[in-house]
């Protein structure tokens, strides 16, 4: 009976280490991912100005 408990504890500890390692891997991957572009009002205004200039240059 005591051996069964020890075996179960060892299995649980092994599974916990496995999950901890997976968590660390995932955190490292997320940290390595570069930040994504966030669309702002300033970017919208720049785009609209570029479109307006292009239309003016081509006479449309």
Query: Half-sphere exposure of 8 toward its Cβ, with a 13 Å CA cutoff?
Result: 5
Give, for all 60 residues of the chain, the pLDDT tens digit: 788 888 888 888 998 898 888 888 888 887 777 667 789 999 999 999 999 999 999 976
DSSP state of 33: S
Domain boundaries, the chain: 2-57
pTM (global) more than 0.85: no
């Amino acid at each position: 009976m005591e051996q069964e408990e020890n075996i179960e504890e060892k299995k649980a500890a092994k599974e916990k280490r496995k999950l901890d390692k997976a968590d660390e891997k995932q955190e490292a991957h997320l940290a390595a991912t570069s930040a994504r572009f966030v669309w702002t009002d300033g970017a919208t205004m720049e785009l609209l100005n570029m479109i307006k200039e292009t239309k003016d240059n081509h006479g449309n």
